[in-house]
Structure 1
Amino acid sequence: MPAELQLLIIEATILLIAYLGIYPSMRDLTMRRMLIVDLVLTALALAVGAALFAGRGIGFSLVFVETNWAVFLLLSMAAMEIPLFLWFCGRHGIDFDDPD
């Protein structure tokens, strides 16, 4: 299995758990709490990515650019999460102007 696909599967799994399990079950659903959970989940994804690919010298393709695993992980995770985040906030009435 290609290294890029491995990271994409890990990221998708983390995001599905977050947006189908963690965020809907939060009692006080605010922008601030979502951002804190998101930081923890991003750190988890980075830890898993580091365990799999750090120090191995594997290149990751971002269509036109070759990069390392960490940059690939952060950019691809952001690309997957931004639409989910905007949809979720709109659906649950979370205001971007009021972080609490």
Structure 2
Amino acid sequence: MRYSSQVKPISYLKANAAEVLTNLAEQREPMVITQNGEAKAVLQDVASYEETQETLALLKILALGNQDVIAGKVKPVADVVARLHAKRAST
């Protein structure tokens, strides 16, 4: 995705806020807002933001799991399955 087509100055956002929000929701492409020629913020629709947060959460879980593997904090699958079967049989 190229952000260069979605770069707007803050004055554009101020003058066209409702239109910007509508476009964000419809196009689902983030918009970079500049101030004095420098990128200062990124606007995106709520659905895209939520998807990004969910993706980041999953990546964090994977990274934590990978750290556990590297640290040797793992158990053989057969042991885990046996434990689950034993727990299920006791209930």
Q: What TM-score does the superposition give when structure 2 sets the normalisation length? A: 0.30
Give the number of the structure whose alpha-carbon radius of gyration is greater.
2
Q: What TM-score does the superposition give when structure 1 sets the normalisation length? A: 0.27
Higher helix share: 1
Structure with higher RCO (Cα < 8 A, 6+ apart):
1
Higher strand share: 2
